[in-house]
Chains A and B, each alone.
Chain A
Amino acid sequence: MACVIVWTPVMTEPFLEVRDLNVRFRDESGFASVPALDDISFVVGAERVALVGESGSGKSTAARAVMGLLPPSAKVAAKNLRFGPADLLSLDHAGWNALRGSGMGFVLQDPRFSLNPSRRIGWQVEEALRLHTRLTRKERRERALDMLSAVGLPSPLRIYESFPGELSGGMGQRVMIAAMMINRPKLLIADEPTSALDRDLRDQILDLMGRLTAEQGAGLLLISHDLQQVTRFADRVLVLYRGKIVDERRGHELSHSDHPYTRTLWAARPSAATYGTRLPVLRRDLGTMP
């Protein structure tokens, strides 16, 4: 793959390395015969990488494996699963705690479920600083207010004192991004960060994450079901289908992909141009794609 050469020269090695990641879920009768992830490999450096696929493709499972958030019913195996010097497969509880909020940040789909409803926004944005730095209360507050204004929230002081319930979905997601980026993580993982938002807000939130990670020299791993969205946004796109990476493209080349799955998924999106026509659909009897 040509992906190695697109990294910026300052990059010496990727932050995240995933080699032959395999995940199986256990049910009543033992481990499922079909893996949720079937030996996928990818790396993320100081760039925007998108994992794109439909429900059941394994894209969220991949993100959760990297974040160490899979349930005990999942069996994770990999030839290599590293974040910088840390081997994620053998990391203990303390090791994960040191990494989360410091090396890695996560933005999930719905801020209503990721923010604590009973704590003020300021307290939550400062959390990573409280846990991972020795900054004083005053310094933390200044950094938090700076961050709230950096994510484009009006009157940061008022937001700082608010509770999550007083914010809209778009504002909530901006707060989440502020909380995740405040301690300058090396990698931001965003799992469908805009799916719960209105369309007009989606590009704004993506642009914000892209801008902040670029400014801080961090990488961004975006999980999305929306091909059109990631094409505008990501440097590289990995297309997942039934637990396998079936296609890998530069973002702007995705629309020209000759892979049958990517092509169908691309063309299945309705628009004014498809008025009065039938949309192409996947042949689900194909099993695994070529």
Chain B
Amino acid sequence: MKSPIAAVEVRRLAVSFDRSGASVAAVRDTTFSVFQGESFGLVGPSGCGKSTVLRVIAGLQRDWTGRVAVHGTELVPRARMTGQLRRDIQMVFQDPYASLHPRHRISRALGEPLQVNGESQVKERVAEVLSQVGLDPTMARRYPHELSGGQRQRVAIARALLLRPKLLLLDEPTSALDVSVQAEILNLLSDLKVTHGMTLILVSHDPDVIAHMCSRAVRMADGAIQEVLDRTRLSHYA
């Protein structure tokens, strides 16, 4: 059987941080692949290293060793992620309030990535992406504090979608939300994955969220993968 094309390949990834002089291993000898078009989960308790793995793939954590490739392009440790790769990989964080500038209107928060990348018709694209995530385009005039938590997370997802990424990284995207709002956001992510043909990597401490969303997952603890969960295992998981 021919194996599906890998969207992300991680081989023997290791990350360590300096903590008061001593080196602490946050991620150790971590290897996994994510296939194109799938929803892949990283699950585990806080401090297990799952978010650090995601930040390496996003190019935010640049100090690492091992091999990481996204859509066949090798990431280079300690180098800034630029060009097409930077556009292809987008990330959504746990707390949408912290990831949106409090004094910028939504129109500016969403317009800037388009302007930076030299896209025209900024206003039209912002209105389009807002309606894609189920928000009224008039929301563009608002400030982040004038939105609810769920609406803010929709804006954060809209911003990630603007550059039409192939890979969407989600770090606890619903952990700060009520369960009914979480349901809306998870439905939205499932819809967008289909319409945009994206690959998703979802980090969560909640096994139920992973079991609902993902075709495959790995469970991490103490910086290393403890268990690979396919759909059969995920269906008994929680």
B-binding residues in A (CB < 8 A): 54-55, 198-200, 225-227, 264-265, 268-275, 278-282
Contact = CB atoms under 8 A, between A and B. Distances in A.
A246 to B, nearest CB: 14
B211 A268 contact: no
A265 B180 contact: yes
Contacts of A275: 211-213, 231, 234-235
Given A198-B45, A269-B208, 6 more contacts: A265-B180, A268-B179, A270-B208, A275-B211, A279-B183, A281-B180
B209 interface: yes
Contact of A54 (B180, B211, B212, B213): B180
A272 B180 contact: no
A215 to B, nearest CB: 30
B236 interface: yes
A281 B236 contact: no
A269 B174 CA distance: 12
A279 B211 contact: no
Interface stretch (B13-21, B52-60, B75-83, B184-192): B184-192
B125 interface: no
B211 A199 contact: no
Nearest to A277: B212
A85 B181 CA distance: 42
Contact of B178 (A198, A225, A273, A274): A225
8 contacts: A198-B46, A199-B205, A199-B206, A270-B186, A271-B208, A272-B235, A275-B211, A278-B190
Interface string B184-210: 101100100000000000000111110
B180 A55 contact: no
A199 B231 CA distance: 22
B1 interface: no
Given A54-B179, A200-B45, A270 B149 contact: no
* Interface of B (DSSP majority class): helix
A31 B212 CA distance: 43
A38 B205 CA distance: 36
B209 A270 contact: yes
B238 interface: yes
B237 interface: yes
B183 A272 contact: no
A282 B190 CA distance: 18
A198 B205 contact: yes
B30 interface: no
A272 B211 CA distance: 4
B186 A264 contact: no
B141 to A, nearest CB: 21
Contact of A272 (B181, B205, B234): B234
B182 interface: yes
A227 B212 CA distance: 18
A160 B110 CA distance: 51
Contacts of A279: 183-184, 186-187, 212
A105 to B, nearest CB: 27
B197 to A, nearest CB: 17
Contacts of A272: 208, 211-212, 234-238
B193 to A, nearest CB: 12
A277 to B, nearest CB: 8
Given A199-B206, A280-B183, A281-B184, A270 B178 contact: no
Given A198-B205, A200-B45, A270 B234 contact: no
A109 B163 CA distance: 38
Given A198-B205, A265-B180, A281 B187 contact: yes
Contacts of B187: 278-279, 281
B45 A282 contact: no
B211 A271 contact: yes
B212 A225 contact: no
A240 B226 CA distance: 40
B204 to A, nearest CB: 10
A245 B219 CA distance: 39
Contact of A270 (B181, B182, B205): B182
A50 B234 CA distance: 31
A271 B190 CA distance: 14
A226 to B, nearest CB: 8
Contact of B179 (A198, A199, A225): A225
A272 B207 CA distance: 9
B133 to A, nearest CB: 14
Contacts of B190: 278
B213 to A, nearest CB: 7
A54 B186 contact: no
